Structures are given as structure tokens and as C-alpha cells.
Amino acid sequence: MPPPEQIEQVFHETINLPEGVDRAEWLAKRCAGDEDLLREVSSLLEANARMAGWEANSEEPPGLPAGPFGVYRPIRLLGHGGMSTVYLAERADGQFEQTVALKVMAAYLSGPEFLRRFQSEGRMLASLHHPNITKLFDGGVSPASEPFLILEYVDGESLDCYCDRRKLPIEARLRIFVQVCDAVDYAHRNLILHRDLKPGNILVTADGTPKLLDFGTASLMQADAIVTLTRARMLTPRYASPEQLRGATVGVTSDVFSLGVVLYELLTGAWPFGTSPSVVTDLRRAAGEAVGTQPGSAITKEAAALRSQPLRRLRTALSGDLSAIAMKSLENDAGRRYATVHDLAEDIERFLEGRPVRARPQTLAYRAGKFLRRRWLPVGATAVFVAGLGAATAIAIQQARSAHAEAVKSQQVNEFLTGILSSASQPRFDPQKYTVAQMLDAAEERLAKHSGQDPLIEALERMSLARSYMRMRLAGKAAAQLDRAIPKLEALGRNGDLADALETRAMVAGDQGRLEASVRNWERSLGLLQQMGRNAPSLLVFQAKYNLAHTLSFLMHTQVERARQLYLDAIAVARNDASIPRTQLADCLSDYASLLAAEGQGREAEALQLEALATGRKEDPGGLWESQPLYALAVLRGTQGDPAGAKAYAAQMVEVATRTVGPDSAEAAQAKIVWAIPAARTGELDKAAKAVEEAMPVIQKRFASPSLDLWLALRNASGVTRLAGRYAEAERYARESLQVAEDAHMGRDDPRLGNSWEWLGEALCKENKSAEGIAALQQAQTIYRNAGAPWATTSARVSVRIAEVRAKTPQ
Amino acid sequence: MPQDPDTPGDITALLQRWKLGDTGALSNLAALTYSDLHAIAAGYLRHESANHTLQATGLVNELYLRLIRQNNLQLTDRRHFFAFAAMMMRRILCDYARQAHTVKRPGGQSTRIPLHPDIAWVDAAGEDMFALDSALNELESSHERQVRVVELRYFLGCTSQETAELMGLARATVERDLQFAKTWLFRRLSPQQLGGN
């Protein structure tokens, strides 16, 4: 046999011969008597020709399935999807002239999981009624056991083709895109995620109406988002979010990302992450390493021509606000994207109207939003945090608050809706068929139509609408309503209502993580209320003082004194007015107590926490709100060297969470981890370790990484396993908590980061990895030292630990 | 020092050793990751769409992320990682096809899933796959580089450009290698052996 290199060489030479050259003749000459070479290359050339023939023949069109599919029969193939084939179909009984799209599940996707998903697509579509979403007419299973859906047939082109063929300029493209956003946002408000948004799934009809298709990969939020995603990846990598590529749990922001890619392509004609997706780019994106190219740099002359604009003009147009909007949608970190598709659409509308857009580079508000919006630790947590018990769980606390608030809220929403329904002019408005969000939108539309009415009534209605949106966590919509109500109330001089509106605006801003805006609104409300003197509604005064104190203590260290005074004022107001809910007073007392604890006034803090418990129990005994004071008490007991006392309070937390939200809830899991530390300290090592073992999977499933919830649980798990003598586990948990802290981009001097290092160091020392342990402790010490005065004792304590470990370590 | 085989840190260490030329490390590496990857691959093939590139992505993602989660992992040498991943993909897909072949699927009729659009005549879920595997072994004895190119391109789903970068070759060379390997494989896997059509 001739050498392989020679065979290759001659093969390539022959195959690349120009047309018209007689290959056989040329080859015979080239091989010049080397029979083996000639035979081998000839045989390869012959195989190559056969292969080309095979490829040409293999594109046979598949036949139409027999059916029947209900009363429909397929006419021709429209296309293949990931898990189904779509045909144009018509009624077989000739009763109506109606063409529809028939979607048949692919034969190889047998199995209950796919059937379930296919059926759920039908169910979800059936629940969506939107002009930009394809309608579902029917569904069933054919005699050959093929599940099928009958859908509205959309005679249109895919979004990108439609825009390019008409050479639509940027503005026209954006107007279509906004409609697509509306449809997606509508699905989200019905708790449905699309998960496979791409131009091919968006058809545009001849009159320019976009229609969203293919909910085959959609999922109900929460219900099965977690279950289906890890293994079952039905995605189009080009439009998939990094978290989708990772197989992680996805939320609304994943659809925001996909829409971001669609938008980017509409604007530039290019893909933001390079030439085309491949395994390599996908991996980089999955790992969060890829950063999109700025749209202005991605544009080409051809793309400009397709957008009916000269290259330079287009480049300028794409480098300002539009670039910010696209890039904000394409952030690797889901938390930095637009929180909802509605927000994205709103920003584009702002751009189209020439108003400033919200997409902007990272600011304090972002960090604050990320870490503080959930009020994850009470102010005083600094001391609490370091202290013996090892911190905890403001999360439970926050959830306690929101769960309690939720109950009140849903009642209020119902009242509000009853209001709409009774005033609605449509007698057949069936509340069963509409979601709350839809009803709110209906109310908003109604308001817009009657905006000529009495400005006071309009303002009050907008406020109540805003509150309802806020309860639905639609902060952007709530803010929009308030921003229209506030000037009207100002003009009318209605100070009481204005203060109310400003407070709601402050809460919305707080929800959006815009703490400075929140403070401004609280201050304004407080100013107005002070002008009103005795006539000021005491609930508003209480709320303004309490929430301002709370927000200030997060925002600026220098304002602690002001926060203290505001807390005391708020408490005084609520003590004198029994109409203010006692659970709110309890929250306020507990917050203030945490501030005292942070300043080392443990005794006073403990008395106040007990008062908080007693106060709230008058209104809602055993409610989830108890988690906050109970937690604080557990920590205080732990700090005072009383693990048995700490354990008793923590046990109550577990009990409260188990009873109010169930034994398998994340809240119960968090409470169990809080319990585990004092339990370990009092010798219940196995039970404590078991509690962590049981709780961690629940927490890891519920809380995405990075989140503070996860961080806390991991760090505490490290503490418990260390106490239980499971040092390797303790090290692993500590490392994971460190990773979460790093992924969350905590500041370099964030004591929490220091805390993770400290506990890692402790675990390593226990494992006799002294050198590594000391290194970790030193990291912790540096962070504590830089974190300011409150951390000085902690820093000193770590210094002592380092010295101890050094002394024990043989040189 | 004996090590806990479940410690993923071992994967990193073995990848390093393989990078430094220790060929024995490769088989240890394979043993460490094989069962997990196999389970994942089986899941993809059983449940997922016909888009094979996509499955490879998902599969390799899991491996990559598993590696990257380890602390000291510096994927400085991507070439080794991808070469390794490609080999694993080949091995897993072939084993899976072999298994699927012996265990008859419920419902009887099977549907062709092309391994890659470029070599649509290979059915990723059928007998073709183990024929392809042994053909590749044969080709490897004389044309090793071409086999690596085939693995990266068809089993892992890299683009030609990426394959070129990962192999340190010119893109034109990759294209030529593919054309040669495809032709050679097509001849070796005579049409009678190819399922379907």
C-alpha cells in the first residue's frame, strides 16, 4: 500500500481538477505505473461520486400522515419543529372552508414525558387569547396514536425575512418587535414561559401583524420549570440564554434574553456573540464568559442597505440608547437584564417617543437591588451575623412578611376587582376566564378611555390600580400609574392622597431596588404629612417613618442616628393608634431591636424582640411573621452563650414555618438549618447533621445561585457539619458558599465574603490542613479589617485564631 | 496516594497529566467521567430532537461545567479538553447505539437520526454507528489526524473554523481532511450496510 500522505495528496489533486479534465486519464498519468496508488485513489473517487449521488437522493419529501386528525386532513408539509411536524390542513368534511395548521408530534418521541409536554402545550395555548398569539382550535389523538393539535394557520413570513424583504427601517422593526413583546409579556402574566423565542417562531402576516407560534417548549412557571429542564433540552442555541445552555432553572428573564437576541438581529442582521453558534461559543456562553459585540460595531453595509439607511447613519443610531437596550437584555447575569418583557418593551417605546431610556450602566441601585431589595438581613444583622449562632435568615423573615402581606393583599385585590366588575359595563365578564393581570389591564384600558372624567377620581383609580399591579409584582406598570396620578393630586392640593401615592411610589422604587428614589419619595411624603399636622393619617405617618428608617439604615451608615429617631417615632405612633396593624408594629419593633443589637445593647434588644412577639401575637398568633423576632431571639441567645435557649427559639421557627407553609417548604428548610447550629452546640450532632442533609436539597432547588438565601444556607451548613465533625463536608459547603459570594459579585470588603473565608479556614484547620486554613483565615481577616469599625472585634478574633493555629502547627 | 474516585478534582489532575503526555491518564479520565456522561447521553438520545449538534452541546456542557466548578481548574488548554470531549462523545454515542440496538424500542419502528447533516447517511441511533466506530478505528491506523477532525466536527459539533483552531490546522486543511475521511468512510461503510434509504 502506498504511503497514506501520497494517497491523500493524489486524491485531493484529482478531485479538485477543473471541469472538463478527464480524471481517469489524468490520474493514470499521475500515478505513473504505481498500480496500488491508482487502484486506491480510483476506488475513493468512485465512492465519492456515489456519496454525492446518495446525498442528492436523500432529500425525499416525507409522505403525509394518514390521519384522520379529528375532522381535519393534512394537505401539505409546512415544516419540522424540534418535536413535531406541522402540516397545512383543511376540514375533511368540507363543512367550512377553513385552512388550519396541523401539528403532529414526532413519532420517535414516544413516551409519557413527551405526551405530557405535548398536551401541556395544548392546555397552555388554550388559556391564551391574544391577537399576537396563534389560536388553538382543537386537539386529539389520531387512530394511529399520533397526538396532534389544530392551530390557527398563519400565512406569513418569519420576522427576519419579513423585515429584510421589505427593507424596513429600524423604527418600523421596533414597532413590530414591541407587539411581539406584548404577546410574550401576556403569556408571562399568565405564568407561561415560551423558552424558544426566535424569528422562526414569530410569523408576520402581510398586513404586518406578528404572531407568536410554537409553545411546544413552553412551560408553566414554577410548576415544572425545574423538573423538565435539566435533562430535557429543547432549545435553539442561537437564541438560548446562558442559563438555558447550562440547563439551569429559567425564568422570565430567560425569555428577555432570547428577545434580546431577536432584537439585536433585527437591528444589526448579525448575531451578538460571533459568526454563528457552535459547541465552543455555546460553552463560553453557558459559562457566562461571552460578551456580546456592541450593535454599532456589528453592522455591515449590506445590513444597512436592508434597513434603508446609509451605513454611517445606522451605526450612529445603533450606538446610543438602542445599544443600551439590546445589551441590557443580553446580560449574562439574569438579574441585570430587564426584569420583565414589559420593561423591555417600555424602554423601546420610550426610545420611539424620544424619552430617556431606563437601560443604563450598573449603578448603586443595581447592587442595592441585588442585595437589599429583599431586606434580607435586618439592619442590626452586622452583630447578629458574626455572632455565635451564625446568622440567618432574614429570608425567612422577608418571606414571613410577604406571606403575611400576600394574604392581606389578595383580599384587597379581590375587593378592587369586585369594584371593577361591578362597574364594568360588560355583564358577561367571567372572572373565571381571566387572570388578575388581565383584569387589571382591562381596568387600565377603561381608565384610559374615560380619562376626561373628574381628575380626582381618575387619580384615585390609578392609585388603586397601581397597588394591584404592585401586588402582582408588576412594578413597572405600578410606577407608570403612579407617575400619572401624582401630578394630578399635586394640582388638586390633595396632600393626604398625595402622601399615600408617594408612599406607594416609594415602595415600588424599593421593589425595583432603586433605594435612593425610594428614600426621596418617603421624605416627600413625610414632609407633606408634617405639614398636615394632626390631620395626617397615622398609618401613613407610621409607614413613612418606619420604612424611611429601614431604607436609610441600608443606604448610608452616617444616617444611623436619624434611622434610630425615626424608628422611635414610628413605634410611638403605632403604640398610640390601635388601628395600625399589630404585626406591622411588631416588624418595626423587631427591626429597631436589631439595630440595638448591632450596637451591642443585647439586653434591650432581647426585651424589645419579646415585646414584638407579644404585640404581633395579639393580631396573628403563630403567623409566619414570627420568624423574624424568633430568629433574632435565637441569635441573641446564641451570642450570650446559651445554645439551649437559641435552639428553643429556632425550634419555634421550624414549627411556625412547618405549620404555615408546610414541612417541605423552603422556609421550613431554612429554619431547620438555623436550628441545626445550636442543636449541634448542645450535642445533638447527628440530628443537626441530618437536618442539614434534608434541608440543603430543598434550598438548592428553590434558590438559584447566586442568591443570598443559598449563600446563608451553605455557610450555615458548613458550620453545622464542622461542629458535627464532618470536616470534609464543612470544607465543601464553605467553598460553595464562597463561590456563591463570588458569583454574586459581593464587594471585596463585604463581611459576608469574609465570613465564608473564615468558615472555610476553620474547616481546613480541623482537617489538619493548617497552611491552607491559615491562608483562608488571613483572607477573612483582611476583609473584616477593611469592613470598618463594627467588624474590629471580629477581625481581632480571627487574628487570635490564626495565632492559635500557628502555635499548634509543628514548624 | 489513593484518591477518592468521586472527587472531581481528579478529573482536573488527570486532564493535566494527559496534557503533559501521560496517555494512561486518558483512560483513567474516561473511566471517571464515563458513567455519568453515558447516562446523560442516553437521556438525550432517548428524548431529544433530531438535532444532534444540540445534544452534543448539552452533553459537553455538563462535563465542562462540572470541570469548571472545580476550584483550581484552569482550562488553559482548551484543545485538550475538546479533544477529550470529542473522544468521549464518540465512545458514548457508539455504546449507546449498540445498546439501543440490542434493546428493541417500544413501538417497533425506529426513526433515523442523522449523526450530522454532513454525513446524513450515518444513523446515530442505529447499527451504522458501530460500523462507523470500527471504520474509524481502521482509518486511525493510517490517518490519525483525520479521525480527530471527524470527532471534533461530527461528534462534538464544532464548526470547521473551530476544528481548525483546536487542531492547530489551516481551515482548508480541515476541509480537505473531512472530504477525504468522509469519502473513505462512505466507501468502507458500503451502502448495503447503511440503514434506511
Model ipTM value: 0.75
Asked if the model's pLDDT at residue B38 lies above 60, the reply is no
Chain A interface includes B16 (CB < 8 A): no
- Set of chain A residues whose Cβ sits within 8 Å of the Cβ of B51: 82
C-alpha closest to that of A680 among A718, A720, A710: A720
Residue A306 to chain B, least CA–CA distance (Å): 27
Calpha distance A248→A705 (Å, rounded)? 10
Say whether A108 and B113 touch across the interface (CB within 8 A): yes
List Cβ neighbours of A714 (8 Å cut-off, separation of 6 or more). A696, A733, A734, A736, A737, A740
Chain B interface includes A16 (CB < 8 A): no
Q: What is the DSSP string of A567-597?
A: HHHHHHHHHT-TTS-HHHHHHHHHHHHHHHH
Q: Which amino acid is at A43?
A: S
Say whether A279 and B107 touch across the interface (CB within 8 A): no
What's the rounded mean pLDDT across residues A727-756? 83
Asked if the model's pLDDT at residue A383 lies above 50, the reply is no
Give the one of A58, A231, A279 whose C-beta lies nearest to B120's C-beta. A58
Asked if the peptide bond before residue A581 counts as cis, ω within 30 degrees of 0, the response is no
Which of residues 203 through 242 in chain A touch B, CB cutoff 8 A?
A: 231-235, 237
**β-bridge partners, A469:** none
Cα-atom radius of gyration of chain A, to the nearest Å?
32
pLDDT band at A139 (very low <50, low <70, confident <90, very high): confident
C-alpha closest to that of A498 among A524, A534, A470, A535: A524
Give the one of A57, A113, A245 whose C-beta lies nearest to B61's C-beta. A245
What is the helix (H) or strand (E) element at residue A205, kind and residue range? Answer: strand A202-205
Please give the grid coordinates belonging to residue A73.
Answer: 386532513
Give the one of B109, B162, B184 whose C-beta lies nearest to A278's C-beta. B162
Residue A763: what pLDDT? 95
What pLDDT digit, counting tens, does each position of B135-161 carry?
999 999 999 999 999 988 888 777 788
Tally helices (H) and strands (E) across chain B.
8, 0
Residue pair A318/A296 in contact by the 8 Å Cβ criterion: yes
Residue pair A158/A200 in contact by the 8 Å Cβ criterion: yes
Asked if the peptide bond before residue A210 counts as cis, ω within 30 degrees of 0, the response is no
Say whether A110 and B113 touch across the interface (CB within 8 A): no
Q: Which amino acid is at A310?
A: P
Please give the grid coordinates belonging to residue B99.
Answer: 445498546
Highest mean pLDDT among A118-122, B73-77, B167-171: B167-171
Residue A225: what pLDDT? 33
Residue pair B136/B90 in contact by the 8 Å Cβ criterion: yes
- Set of chain A residues whose Cβ sits within 8 Å of the Cβ of B192: none
- Set of chain A residues whose Cβ sits within 8 Å of the Cβ of B142: 4
* HEC per residue, A304-373: HHHCCCCHHHHHHHCCCHHHHHHHHHCCCCHHHCCCCHHHHHHHHHHHHCCCCCCCCCCCHHHHHHHHHC
Say whether A246 and B109 touch across the interface (CB within 8 A): no
Q: For residue A638, give the 3-state DSSP assignment.
A: helix
Which of residues 738 through 777 in chain A touch B, CB cutoff 8 A?
A: 739
- Set of chain B residues whose Cβ sits within 8 Å of the Cβ of A106: 49-50, 111
Calpha distance A529→A534 (Å, rounded)? 9
For residue A535, give the DSSP letter: G
Say whether A287 and B51 touch across the interface (CB within 8 A): no
pLDDT band at A704 (very low <50, low <70, confident <90, very high): low
N residues, chain A: 811
Say whether B162 and A279 touch across the interface (CB within 8 A): yes
Say whether A114 and B51 touch across the interface (CB within 8 A): no
Calpha distance A221→A195 (Å, rounded)? 11
Give the one of B61, B176, B186 whose C-beta lies nearest to A286's C-beta. B61
Q: What is the distance in angstroms between the CA of the first residue and the CA of the last residue of chain A?
A: 67
Q: What is the CATH number of domain A72-152?
A: 3.30.200.20
Say whether B184 and A58 touch across the interface (CB within 8 A): no
* HEC per residue, A434-451: CCHHHHHHHHHHHHHHCC
Say whether B182 and A51 touch across the interface (CB within 8 A): yes
Backbone angles phi, psi at A622, to 5 degrees: 75, 10
Residue B8: what pLDDT? 43
The residue ranges of every structural domain in chain A are: 4-57, 72-152, 156-361, 374-472+527-625
Say whether B158 and A279 touch across the interface (CB within 8 A): yes
**Residue A425 CB neighbour total at 10 angstroms:** 6
List Cβ neighbours of A57 (8 Å cut-off, separation of 6 or more). B197
Q: Which of A277-286, A360-369, A760-769, A801-810 has the lowest mean pLDDT?
A: A360-369
Say whether A44 and B184 touch across the interface (CB within 8 A): yes
Residue A557: what pLDDT? 52
Q: Which of A275-289, A781-795, B70-84 has the lowest mean pLDDT?
A: B70-84
What is the helix (H) or strand (E) element at residue B60, kind and residue range? Answer: helix B52-69
Q: Which residue of B has its CA nearest to A51?
A: B186
Calpha distance A641→A637 (Å, rounded)? 7
Q: Which of A51, A115, A116, A280 to mutate to test binding with chain B, by most B CBs within 10 Å of its CB? A: A280
Q: What is the DSSP string of B103-166?
A: SPPTTS-----BS-GGGTTSBTTSTHHHHHHHHHHHHHHH-HHHHHHHIIIIIS---HHHHHHH
Say whether B110 and A108 touch across the interface (CB within 8 A): yes
Asked if the model's pLDDT at residue A407 lies above 90, the reply is no
Q: Return the C-alpha torsion angle B67, B70, B73, B77, nearest 10.
A: 0
For residue A587, give the DSSP letter: H
Give the one of B47, B157, B186 whose C-beta lies nearest to A279's C-beta. B157
Residue A752: what pLDDT? 78
pLDDT band at A560 (very low <50, low <70, confident <90, very high): confident
**CA B47 distance to own-chain centroid:** 19
What pLDDT digit, counting tens, does each position of A244-262 carry?
877 667 778 999 999 999 9
Look up the pTM and report it.
0.48
Residue with cell 423591555: A344
Calpha distance A96→A511 (Å, rounded)? 52
Q: Which of B160, B167, B186, B189 to mutate to test binding with chain A, by most A CBs within 10 Å of its CB? A: B186
Which of residues 121 through 150 in chain B touch A, CB cutoff 8 A?
A: 121, 142-143
Q: Return the C-alpha torsion angle A314, A315, A319, A324, nearest 10.
A: 60
For chains A and B, CB pairs below 8 A equal 121
Angle at alpha carbon of residue A108, lines to A105 and A111, rounded to 5° = 80
Give the one of A47, A233, A246 whose C-beta lies nearest to B183's C-beta. A47
Say whether A44 and B61 touch across the interface (CB within 8 A): no
Q: Which amino acid is at A726?
A: R
Which of residues 47 through 106 in chain B touch A, CB cutoff 8 A?
A: 47-51, 53-58, 60-62, 64-65, 68-69, 71, 78, 82, 105-106
Residue B16 to chain A, least CA–CA distance (Å): 20
pLDDT band at A444 (very low <50, low <70, confident <90, very high): low
Asked if the model's pLDDT at residue A7 lies above 80, the reply is yes
Q: Where are the alpha helices (DSSP H) in A166-218?
A: 170-189
Chain B interface includes A109 (CB < 8 A): yes
Q: Which of A1, A15, A227, A279 to mutate to test binding with chain B, by most B CBs within 10 Å of its CB? A: A279
Say whether B158 and A278 touch across the interface (CB within 8 A): yes
Please give the grid coordinates belonging to residue A745.
Answer: 459579585
Which of residues 34 through 63 in chain A touch B, CB cutoff 8 A?
A: 43-48, 50-51, 54-55, 57-58
Residue with cell 403569556: A187
C-alpha closest to that of A632 among A660, A611, A655, A657: A611
Calpha distance A672→A655 (Å, rounded)? 9
C-alpha closest to that of A277 among A233, A301, A245, A243: A245
Which class is domain A156-361? mainly alpha
Residue with cell 475521511: B181
Residue A288 to chain B, least CA–CA distance (Å): 11
Among residues of chain A, what percentage have pLDDT more than 90? 27
What's the rounded mean pLDDT across residues A447-468? 70
C-alpha closest to that of A506 among A537, A535, A467, A472: A467
Residue A662: what pLDDT? 78
Among residues of chain B, what percentage have pLDDT more than 90? 17
Calpha distance A656→A654 (Å, rounded)? 6
Asked if the model's pLDDT at residue A438 lies above 60, the reply is no
